[in-house]
Amino acid sequence: MNPSFDPRLLLNRRHFFGRVGLGATALAALLNEELVAAPAPAATAAATAAGGLPGLPHFKAKAKRVIYLFQSGAPSQLDLFDHKPQLAARHGTDLPDSIRQGQRLTGMTATQDHFPIAPTRFRFAQHGRGGAWLSELLPHTARVADDLCFIKTMHTEAINHDPAITFFQTGAQLAGRPSIGSWLSYGLGSENRDLPAFVALLSNGTGNPADQPLYDRLWSSGFLPTTHQGIKFRSAGDPVLFLSNPAGLDATARRRMLDDLAKLNGMQLAEYGDPEIATRIAQYELAYRMQTSVPTLTDVSREPASAFELYGPESHKPGTFAANCLLARRLAERGVRFIQLFHRGWDQHTKLPAQIAGQCRDTDQPSAGLIEDLKQRGLLDDTLVVWGGEFGRTVYCQGRLTKEDYGRDHHPRCFTLWLAGGGIRPGITFGETDDYSYNVASDPVHVHDLHATMLHCLGIDHTRLTFKFQGRHHRLTDVHGEVVKGILV
């Protein structure tokens, strides 16, 4: 039997009070005041979709929005950020057991007889007043070094791509939890009723074009109401699927159709009280408004030539990381709460020197250009920018090591990412690794700590942003996470 065919089987409190009259309602109030005081789940979902939760932010926020430049595949900290000049003299020697300490290896290198040390081929230099060490592969990032905060001691338990990427997006290695952008949409709502609170943009790198796939669940709302799901913008055709009206259907007809559909959904909502019906109504209306707002957003024809020069030559080509960085700035200007760029191609198990150079050409100038553009427009102060991948790369070579070529395996023990903008101390390097960039030497920062700190910049106490699901109050940081106070202004 399908109970939806028999409303009598779905009798609930609202049905009962609505059908038996005021006398029963008064009796219910005498028996338990809370029976008529609690808001309906559907009403809560609709309110949350528009303006976030009551009482948030918990305290004065430094940042209003986030741009997360996620480098999928794991950039090598040894070749970009973590300068270890002493390794040059140890080229080809085995990584000492005292450093490895029997730590977990992937199946790709666990059977190797040796773990030969592979020093970087690239030159490093210090930049800015803070003296940040950066590889020659990142000349544009070097230019904005004093705007950045480098964390060298990120670490995670995940050692393979899918659980590690999932962990960074959702705070859990297993799929099914809400992404960080969905948590922010749920907690803080949207600043622009005509655009989604959470947008995802994807690009393929030139370093390793056949890199790990990316799944739509990485920007999913999980068990949160689906109105908080990230919206993926496409680089070809309509930026969002079904944005344009079908042939023969004009805007007037579309409006009439949506009005009639809203009445039908409203009847279902009154009957069943399912908060997902409220979400459906809200999303239809948002989609209608996006028919006007999104084409204006994605039309960059009026951007000055200086903007394209800032982001680099690829910024003219839709779907590139550079074009997506420019679009991210336009989204930030319009009040989108969480903008996440995913750039594939950082998985360099072999031929790292050639492949990582291509990845840096993709990302170096656009990333720096975004920082400079936000700063020029007065947006960096209240925009939190994050750049990094899901783990780092091993100091030892995977496969055959030569003077000109090497590869690196996954390394979750320590790696580097950088942050800039709202609430973050600029021009500093936080944490130290050992002489092999293999273990954390001081000031470790876990994924949960990063999430707690990001929420803190947005005025949120990470322990108080929760959602009850299957009998438990869940949060992005699970039962962990400490705010990294040493990187905050």
pLDDT tens track for 103-155: 999 999 999 999 999 999 999 999 999 999 999 999 999 999 999 999 999 99
Rounded-to-integer distance, Cα 11 and Cα 33, Å: 20
> What DSSP character marks residue 94?
B
Give the C-alpha separation, 309 to 34, whole Å.
61
**Quick one: pLDDT at residue 322?**
98
Residue among 270, 356, 366 nearest 315 (CA): 366
Give the per-residue pLDDT at 149. 98
Averaged pLDDT of the chain: 90
pLDDT at 13: 52
| Contact assessment for residue 269 and residue 281, using Cβ atoms and an 8 Å cutoff | yes
> What is the C-alpha separation between 74 and 392, in angstroms, rounded?
5
- Which pTM value belongs to this model? 0.87
84 and 78 Cβ atoms separated by less than 8 Å: yes
All residue ranges of the chain with pLDDT < 50 are 1-9, 15-49
**What pLDDT score was predicted for residue 317?**
96
Burial label, 443 (beta-carbon count in 10 A; 0-12, 13-18, 19+): middle
Angle at 402 between CA 401 and CA 407, to 5 degrees: 45
> Which pLDDT tens digit goes with each residue over 42-88?
444 444 445 799 999 999 999 999 999 999 999 999 999 999 999 99
Rg of the chain's alpha carbons, rounded to an integer?
Answer: 25
Are 90 and 410 in contact by the 8 Å Cβ rule? The answer is no
Residue from 222, 223, 241 nearest 232 by CA: 241
Shortest CA distance to 218 belongs to which of 135, 292, 161, 148? 161
459: which 2 tokens? 């005025």
Cα 470 from chain centroid (whole Å): 25
Q: Are strands 383-388 and 65-71 parallel, antiparallel or unpaired?
A: parallel
pLDDT recorded at residue 12: 54
- At 53 the pLDDT is 96
Tokens of 323: 């074009």
Q: DSSP character for 190?
A: -
User: CA–CA separation, 319 vs 366, rounded Å?
Assistant: 13
The Cα-based distances of 246 to 241, 250, 299 in angstroms read 12, 8, 21
List the CATH code of the domain at 48-242+304-487: 3.40.720
Domain range summary for the chain, segments of one domain joined by +? 9-38, 48-242+304-487
* Strand, helix or coil for residue 433: strand
Q: Would strands 432-433 and 198-204 be described as parallel, antiparallel, or unpaired?
A: unpaired
Q: Are 352 and 203 in contact (CB under 8 A)?
A: no
Ramachandran region of residue 422, left (φ > 0), alpha (ψ -120 to 50) or beta? beta
Side-chain half-sphere CA neighbours of 86 within 13 A: 4
Write the pLDDT tens digit of every residue in 4-44. Answer: 444 444 555 554 444 444 333 333 333 443 333 333 444 44
